[in-house]
Amino acid sequence: MASDITLAVGDGAPESAEVSPGTDPRPPDSVSPGTDPLTAIAIQTLSQAVEMLREDVEHERDRADQAERRTDELLHELADARTAAMITGCEAAALRTQLALRPRDARGGEGGSGDRGDE
C-alpha cells in the first residue's frame, strides 16, 4: 500500500542519507547526475508511491468491474423472477376462471371436495 513508503534520512547531511529497505539506492533515470542525493531519493520515493497508487487504482477498477458484472447478473435474475411471478399469476387466474365456468355438478356438487363454500 502507499502508506508503507518511508524515507530514511540521517542527520540531514547529504552524505548521511540512508535508503529505506527495499528502495533502490540508484537515482531514477529522470534525475540528472549532479542532483542532490536527498532530492534523488525523494524523487525515487515519489515515483514508487505513484506506481503503488497506480496499482491500487487498477485493483479498485477490477473490483468495480466485478461488482458491476454481479449487479447485472442480479438484475437479470430479478427480471426472470418477476416474469415467472407474472406467468404464475396469469395461470392462477386462468385456473380460477376455468373453475368458475364449470357446471356445479362437475365440481363435486354440494359438500364435495370442489365446493368452496362461497355461495
The whole model's pTM is what?
A: 0.48
Backbone angles phi, psi at 60, to 5 degrees: -70, -35
Q: What is the pLDDT of residue 83?
A: 98
Q: What is the pLDDT of residue 93?
A: 96
The pLDDT tens digits along the chain (119 residues) read: 444 444 444 444 444 445 455 555 555 565 677 788 999 999 999 999 999 999 999 999 999 999 999 999 999 999 999 999 999 999 999 999 999 998 877 666 555 555 555 54
Which residues, in sequence order, are CB contacts of 82 under 8 Å at separation 6+? none
Q: What is the pLDDT of residue 98?
A: 93
CA distances from 98 to 41, 66, 93, 106 (A): 85, 48, 9, 12
Our CA angle for 74, 80, 84, nearest 5°, is 145
Helix ranges (DSSP H) in 29-106: 37-101
